[in-house]
Amino acid sequence: MRSIIDTLDLTVEELQGLVDTAMDIIANPSSYSDACRGKKLATLFFEPSTRTRMSFEAAMYELGGNVISMTDAATSSASKGESVADTAKIVSCYADIIAMRHPREGAALVAANNASIPVINAGDGGHCHPTQTLADLLTIYREKGRFDNLTIGLCGDLLYGRTVHSLIHAMSRYENVKFICISPEELKLPAYMEEGGDYENTTSLEEALPRLDILYMTRLQEERFADPAQYERLKNSYVLNPENMKLAKEDCSVLHPLPRVNEIAVAVDEDPRAAYFRQALNGKYMRMALILKLLGEAAKDKSKTVVTGEIEEGCTCNNPKCITKVEQELACKFRRVGEKKLCIYCDAEM
């Protein structure tokens, strides 16, 4: 039985398998309408969400399954101080699969280690958001017809934007993919992300635009800024509008995980290159494909999710957003990557 915490938990072959299933669902929706009859998805959202939670729920309904839901941490046992580990054990008694969003980095892994059903990470702080990446991948596939030989511009909040981190993990495994990172100095991609890929940094959207096959716009993650004045200063750093869209290639696809704040002018929606609303729909199909895959695997193999690779103890994670900072009974654990020690929960360097 497997949980999905990061896009890297899925091999390139498995990602292609999910894309193929999603394409088949699009072509033959009725053949899937009973696929999860009698199964329950629990959506646990400790942080606000519209499209991610609703697209998970719509996905389960379209597979003929049911949904039970916790949409507000303030009215759940979390407000009484229940740990993520306990919540995961309890929900395992009621549901067959969990989709969880939590503000703490690494919370999804804690849930997966304690649940006896598959857990899908629907966003853990600024860390990962693998099912948004599945939506992004199906969109890239449908818009561009390929995953290799692409120049991808990532624009906006590359520091706190978890969708960007998960997308890089997925796309850096394909041949000849170049990332152009467009952000203010203060919101650059964390250094640990830049390993082993082809990255270029710039602060200018206009300079990068003519070279891009895909432009992935993101909003600044206001809720993750420690200093509100910094957010105010940076919030309008990049605005895509019909004027600068003239600089983009004729077949450049514009993606955005949404919600947008004002980094894409509404007038751009008319442009055929604007793929972000199609992307939101693609997310539902990919979540259907993922639920089917994980429930299918869980039916065959009940053994527990474990973090793979060699795990060591004896360090403290310095990331203030790490789940280990609030759930004190969790021992900090790390894995070695080259010279570095990375927290197994949030991937921050220790």
State in angstroms the smallest separation of the CB of 48 from ligand NCD.
Answer: 9
Q: Does 286 bind ligand NCD (CB under 6 A)?
A: no
Find tokens 């942080």 and name the residue: 47
Residue 219 near ligand NCD by CB under 6 A: yes
What is the smallest separation between the CB atom of 324 and ligand NCD, expressed in angstroms? 21
Q: Which of 51, 142, 169, 256 is catalytic?
A: 51
Task: State the residue number with the nearest CB to ligand NCD.
Answer: 257
Q: Catalytic residue at 51?
A: yes
**Cα 342 to Cα 26: distance, rounded to the nearest angstrom:** 40
Question: Could you tell me which stretch among 3-11, 69-77, 214-222, 246-254 binds ligand NCD (CB under 6 A)?
Answer: 214-222
- Binding range to ligand NCD, per CB under 6 A, among 4-12, 195-203, 215-223, 295-303: 215-223
Binding mask 155-174 toward ligand NCD (x if CB under 6 A, else -) reads -------xx-----------
Nearest one of 235, 170, 245 to 209, comparing CA atoms: 245
DSSP 8-state class, residue 76: S
Other residues' Cβ atoms within 10 Å of the Cβ of residue 74: 7
Q: Alpha-carbon distance 162 to 133, whole Å?
A: 10
Q: 317-338 burial, b for 16+ CB within 10 Å, e for fewer?
A: bebebbbbbebeebebbbbeee
Residues 6 or more apart whose Cβ sits within 8 Å of residue 337 = none
Q: Is 101 an annotated catalytic residue?
A: yes
Q: Which of 52, 87, 133, 324 is catalytic?
A: 52
Q: Is 106 in the site for ligand NCD (CB under 6 A)?
A: no
Residue 258 binds ligand NCD, judged by CB under 6 A: yes
Classify each residue of 127-156 as buried b or exposed e, where b means 16 or more C-beta atoms within 10 Å of its C-beta.
bbbbbbbbbbbbbbbbbbeebeebbbbbbb
**From 15-23, 106-114, 218-226, 299-307, span contacting ligand NCD (CB under 6 A):** 218-226
Q: At its nearest, how many Å lie between ligand NCD and the CB of residue 52?
A: 4
Angstrom distance (rounded) from CA 138 to CA 7? 13
Query: Binding string to ligand NCD for residues 294 to 323, with x set by CB under 6 A, is what?
Result: ------------------------------
Q: Of the listed 7, 21, 53, 101, which one is catalytic?
A: 101
Q: Is the peptide bond before 48 cis (omega within 30 degrees of 0)?
A: no
| Contact call for residue 121 and ligand NCD (CB under 6 A) | no
Q: What backbone torsions phi and psi does residue 150 show, to the nearest 5 degrees?
A: -130, 140
Q: Taking the C-alpha atoms of 189, 11, 50 and 65 in order, what is their torsion angle to the nearest 10 degrees? A: -170
Position among 39, 51, 284, 321 found at the interface with ligand NCD (CB under 6 A) = 51
Q: Which of 53, 102, 104, 129 is catalytic?
A: 129
CB–CB of 181/119 below 8 Å?
Answer: no
Question: Is 144 in the active site?
Answer: no
Q: Interface with ligand NCD by CB under 6 A: which residues?
A: 51-52, 123, 129, 132, 162-163, 218-219, 221, 257-258
Catalytic residues, by residue number, are: 51-52, 80, 101, 129
